[in-house]
Structure 1
Amino acid sequence: MSRSLRRGALAATAAAFSLVSLGACAAGHDAPTLQVKPDNAAVTKGDIKVQNALVITQEKDKKGPAAVSATVFNNGTKEQTLDAITLPGSKAVVTLKPAGSGSKVVIPAGGSVLLGGKGNASAVIAGGESVVDGNVQKIVFQLSTAGDVELEGFVVPATGMYEAYGPTAAPVAGATPSGSPSASPSGSTSATPSGSPAASASHGAGASGSPSTGTGH
Structure 2
Amino acid sequence: MSRSLRRGVLAATVLSLSIATLSACGAGNDAQTLQVEPDNAATSVGDIKLQNVTVITQPDVNAKGPAVVAATVFNNGAKDQKLTAISVDGTGQSAKLSPVGGGSGAVSVPAGGSVVLGGKGNASAVLASGREAVKDGNVQPLTFTFSATGKVKTSAYVVPAKNYFQGYGPSQLPQPSGSASPSGSAKPSQSGKPSESAGPSGSGTPSASAHSGH
Q: Same fold (TM over 0.5)?
A: yes
Task: Give the Cα separation in 1 of the matches to 2:52 and 2:162.
Answer: 17
Q: What aligned pairs does 1:191-210 form with structure 2 within 5 A after superposition?
A: none
Q: Which amino acid aligns with 2:124?
A: S
Q: Which residue of 1 aligns with 2:49?
A: 49
Task: Give the Cα separation in 2 of the matches to 1:51 and 1:142.
Answer: 15
Structure 1: where are the runs of 5+ without partners?
1-30, 170-203, 209-217
Q: Which residue of 2 aligns with 1:96?
A: 97
Q: What aligned pairs does 1:110-121 form with structure 2 within 5 A after superposition?
A: 110-121=112-123
CA separation of 1:126 and 1:47: change in aligned 2, threshold 3 A: same
Aligned-pair distance for 1:127? 1.5
- CA deviation string 1:94-138 (max 9, x = no partner): 100001367431000000000000100000001211211001100
Mean Cα deviation higher: 75-84 or 90-99: 90-99
Q: List, as ranges, runs of 4+ consecutive aligned residues in structure 1 with deviation greater than 3 Å.
A: 31-34
- C-alpha contact 2:85 2:106 (8 A) present in aligned 1: no
CA separation of 1:69 and 1:78: change in aligned 2, threshold 3 A: same
Task: Give the Cα separation in 2 of the matches to 1:32 and 1:52.
Answer: 19
State the identity as a percent.
52
Q: Number of aligned residue pairs: give it.
A: 141
Aligned-pair distance for 1:92? 2.6
TM-score under structure 2 length normalisation: 0.61
Task: Give the Cα separation in 1 of the matches to 2:102 and 2:143.
Answer: 25
Q: What aligned pairs does 1:23-62 form with structure 2 within 5 A after superposition?
A: 32=34, 35-36=37-38, 39-60=39-60, 61-62=62-63
- CA deviation string 1:7-43 (max 9, x = no partner): xxxxxxxxxxxxxxxxxxxxxxxx948525xx21111
Task: Indicate the RMSD between aligned Cα atoms, in angstroms.
Answer: 2.3
| Matched residue SS, 2:95 | strand
Q: Which amino acid aligns with 1:35?
A: E
Indicate the structure whose relative CO is greater, using CA pairs within 8 Å and at least 6 residues apart.
1
Aligned-pair distance for 1:167? 1.6
Note if 1:155 corresponds to 2:158: yes
CA separation of 1:91 and 1:101: change in aligned 2, threshold 3 A: closer
| Matched residue SS, 1:164 | helix
| Matched residue SS, 1:64 | coil
Q: Which amino acid aligns with 1:48?
A: I
Matching residue within 128, 132, 135 for 1:132:
135
Q: Which residue of 1 aligns with 2:67?
A: 66
Q: Which amino acid aligns with 1:53?
A: V
Higher Rg of the two aligned structures: 2
Note if 1:144 corresponds to 2:137: no
Structure 2: where are the runs of 5+ without partners?
1-32, 173-210
